[in-house]
Amino acid sequence: MNVEVKKINLNHSFIFFLFCNIFSVVIFKFSNLNISELLCLFFILTIGVSHGALDHLKGKELLEIYNIKKIYIFYLIYLLIALSVILVWLFVPTITLIIFLTVASFHFGKEDTQFLIKKSSSITSILYFFKGFLIISAPLYFNFEETVAIFKMLLINNEQFYLVLGLIEKFKIIHIAIGLSFISSIILFLKEFNFKKFAIFLDFCSILILNYYLSPLIAFTIYFCFLHSIRHTISLAVEIDNTNFKNGLKLFIKKAFPLTVLTAIFSVIILYFLNNVYDLSTSILQIIFIGLASLTFPHILLEYFLEKNEK
């Protein structure tokens, strides 16, 4: 990735860091300000989901590699994987949640950092995982009870799971997780060192600030939409037009709009039916996290097969 894009990402990290400080302190000082779950859902279904809205185009690339001409095969497989994740979650929610958190940690760590790393390796992948695990460990560290409450709303009723979480909190294992994330950030920072890698520490501090001042849902929404998704969008805009970033961004928005709207409409319909069974807060949380899990797995598999064939 060229120097200009690294500079864009560094500027993005700096702006996001300032935003996290100002926004978090304002919300903390004026604690009567209420940011509803509906607003979080809106941002995730628009800005958040849009960064994966070009998967159909990447799917066409993958089919061409395997010399498959029928595009409906990609859509069918993608939807089957997404639906399978939801069904598996309903039957074995605890195991599915653990797998999702593990996969998401690696995904977040990699996509938020790989623009700075020239060479990948098994060790680098491990560092990505521990770096991304901060997204999971920070809310448990700063807002343990609220995070556990969210897990319960996601159909996690396994008493042993919560017993393990209790032991993790009691014996300060979460401290170790955050420490490992920090060490991973340092190693990634020193590897092939350049000034633009300060983005790694800006992101690390931003995530801690968000989770210190805000609830787990709001902290995650701001991270997912305004750091992770925008960073991925920058990468996609460069792929579309590597000579003119602004034009690439315009083309990305145009290409991503249809699937983003379709996903949002589908999610609202599901929310309507869920709200007949659960309260609104629980329904929204299930749409956000179980829905994201169902989209994350096929998205990551697609990225994996494309990278594998590129190599």
Task: State how far the alpha carbon of 298 is from the alpha carbons of 59, 79, 80, 295, in Å.
Answer: 11, 8, 9, 6
239 pLDDT band, cuts 50/70/90, is confident
How far apart CA 122 and CA 191 sit, in angstroms, is 14
Of the spans 23-27, 68-72, 132-136, which averages the highest pLDDT?
132-136
pLDDT at 194: 81
pLDDT at 302: 94
How far apart CA 135 and CA 139 sit, in angstroms, is 7
Of all residues in the chain, the percent with pLDDT exceeding 70 is 98
The phi and psi torsions of 108 (rounded to 5 degrees) equal -65, -45
Burial class (CB in 10 A: 0-12, 13-18, 19+), 27: middle
The torsion of the CA quartet 185, 188, 193, 194, rounded to 10 degrees, works out to -60
For 124-129, what is the mean pLDDT?
96
pLDDT greater than 60 at residue 1: no
How far apart CA 56 and CA 69 sit, in angstroms, is 14
For 154-175, what is the mean pLDDT?
94
Beta carbons of 85 and 66 less than 8 angstroms apart: no
For 261-265, what is the mean pLDDT?
94
pLDDT at 311: 65
pLDDT at 195: 82
What's the token pair of residue 150?
Answer: 């969210």
pLDDT at 3: 57
How far apart CA 99 and CA 85 sit, in angstroms, is 11
**Region of residue 36 (phi > 0: left; psi between -120 and 50: alpha; otherwise: beta):** beta
How far apart CA 122 and CA 124 sit, in angstroms, is 5
pLDDT at 115: 87
State which amino acid sits at residue 122: S
216 pLDDT band, cuts 50/70/90, is very high
Tell which wins on pLDDT, 299 or 3.
Answer: 299
What is this structure's pTM? 0.94
33 pLDDT band, cuts 50/70/90, is low
144 pLDDT band, cuts 50/70/90, is very high
What are the residue boundaries of the structural domains of the chain, listed by start? 3-30+40-306
pLDDT at 310: 74
201 pLDDT band, cuts 50/70/90, is very high
The phi and psi torsions of 120 (rounded to 5 degrees) equal -105, 155
